Amino acid sequence: MNKEKKARYFTNKDIVRMAVMAAALFVVSCVTVPLVLGVPFPGIRTLACGLFFGVIIALTYARVPKFGAGTITTLICSLPMAFFSPIITVFTTAAGFCTDLYFLLVGKKLTVKTITGLGAVLMGTMMPIAAAMGAIFVPETELTWADLFRNPLYLAIGFFGSLILGALGSFLATKIFKELKGYE
Amino acid sequence: MNKTPLRLHPLGKLLLILLVMALGFPCWDVRKLLLLCALVLVLLALDPGERLPLRVLRLSLLSAFVFLVTLLIGDRLDMAFGAALHLELMLLLSLWMFRTPVSELLRGLQSCRVPDGLLLGFLIVFRFIDVLFEELQSIRLAGSMLPRGSLSAPKKLYRCLMLPFVYRLFVLSDQLSLSVTSRDFGAAKRSQYRENPIRARDLITLAVSAAVCGGIVWMR
């Protein structure tokens, strides 16, 4: 039994930690995204929640520094969102997977620089994937390709804004983690 | 007399929510969206629970806020109504889903053979959404005790909201992981004390609601 337990890559403790962080991601998106739901600006939703998503994803990796933590956290967070639209589940999990790939690329090392990159990668990949999926699958409710490329400046603001806010959030998470070091 | 609750089976709820969302989201007709919201309200009223009118009122206030913001930015009344009603529909459906007791949902998902690890994560998210909202509320209240102008807005956001919230996240996750470990979760196959099979009335409710929903969307 013990061998079986040791063989598991993610322990129960890891799953619980990731799930609580996923709940926090869900709460943050519930608070921020509805406020800008009807605003026709590319990437406005990722801009609204970018800072907080950056904080939470960095804290997730700080607590569960394993490849797959990003994918599982975003998957668990976006599963209840599948009731709203299955597309949300797909682009959120895809962004989480990209963050995992980045984590693997930087050699699973958590320094201030690499942690800052976690939020940047998450939000920087989420925005284009979400916009593209919206334009492909639900052009009735989301912005179409023509709307997206009508003003490339708005698109660039949406993309770089999300990326910078994600990075800023993750950088903030390193400060928070330092302040709460006594707790750990 | 012991009344049996009129609650729909969790799997039936999931299916119906997916159907209403799939049919309701591409629709921008205000009348149809209003009828869909009314249908979900009827389903909510059939589900036993506390403080339903108050919760619905709170959600409607949020939708009204979105209506105002969209009207101010977009300057189109139909678009503002559409955005607010889409949000209202989404919020009502999520309220309906989140009022399902966790134990019932667990039994429903277990019967679909969802892996235990994923099930645990999903249930924690499901249960902790309410808990974290309450935490945010109490942290916000504690922050409001500070004298005005004592901290700048970004500093206040960081000191009085982010730090306490992250601290509570850590504490809650550690307490919960300790509890899960002490119960030896995942050591053996989980059994069920009470079965919750899909009954004929669940199928009838599902079929009638789906038909009404389809009728609303495709009516002229």
Nearby residues of B48 by Cβ (< 8 Å), 6 or more positions away = B5, B6, B7
User: What pLDDT, on the 0 to 100 scale, is given for residue B149?
Assistant: 65
Chain B residues inside the 8 Å CB shell of A26: 125, 129
Contact B158 A5 (CB under 8 A): no
Interface test with B, best of A39, A53, A84, A178 (most B CBs within 10 A): A84
* ipTM above 0.90 for this complex: no
User: What pLDDT, on the 0 to 100 scale, is given for residue A1?
Assistant: 46
* Cα–Cα distance measured from residue B181 to residue A12, given in angstroms and rounded to the nearest whole number: 7
Show the tokens assigned to B34: 């209003």
For residue B174, what is the enclosing H or E element?
helix B163-182
Chain B residues inside the 8 Å CB shell of A68: none
Contact B169 A179 (CB under 8 A): no
User: What pLDDT, on the 0 to 100 scale, is given for residue A54?
Assistant: 94
Output A128 or A85, whichever has higher pLDDT: A128
With 0.95 as the threshold, say if the pTM is over it: no
Dihedral, A115, A117, A119, A124 alpha carbons, nearest 10 = -170
User: What pLDDT, on the 0 to 100 scale, is given for residue A165?
Assistant: 94
pLDDT in tens, A95-120: 999 999 999 999 888 888 999 999 99
User: What pLDDT, on the 0 to 100 scale, is given for residue A4?
Assistant: 47
Q: What is the mean pLDDT of residues A159-168?
A: 94
User: What pLDDT, on the 0 to 100 scale, is given for residue A50?
Assistant: 92
Contacts by residues A80-84 (CB-CB < 8 Å, ≥ 24 positions apart): A80/A26, A80/B94, A80/B97, A80/B122, A80/B125, A80/B126, A80/B129, A81/A26, A81/A29, A82/B18, A83/B14, A83/B17, A83/B18, A83/B21, A83/B93, A83/B94, A83/B97, A84/B21, A84/B90, A84/B93, A84/B94
Q: What is the pLDDT along chain B (220 residues), one digit of tens a residue?
A: 445 555 677 888 888 888 888 788 777 788 888 999 998 888 888 876 777 888 888 888 888 888 888 788 777 788 888 888 888 888 888 888 877 777 777 777 777 677 777 788 888 887 888 888 888 888 888 877 777 666 667 777 788 888 888 898 888 888 888 888 887 776 676 666 666 677 788 888 888 888 888 888 887 7
Contact A35 B117 (CB under 8 A): no
Given the structure tokens 């050699």, which residue do they identify?
A107
User: What pLDDT, on the 0 to 100 scale, is given for residue B2?
Assistant: 47
- Picking from B79, B125, B181, the nearest residue to A19 by CB comes out as B125
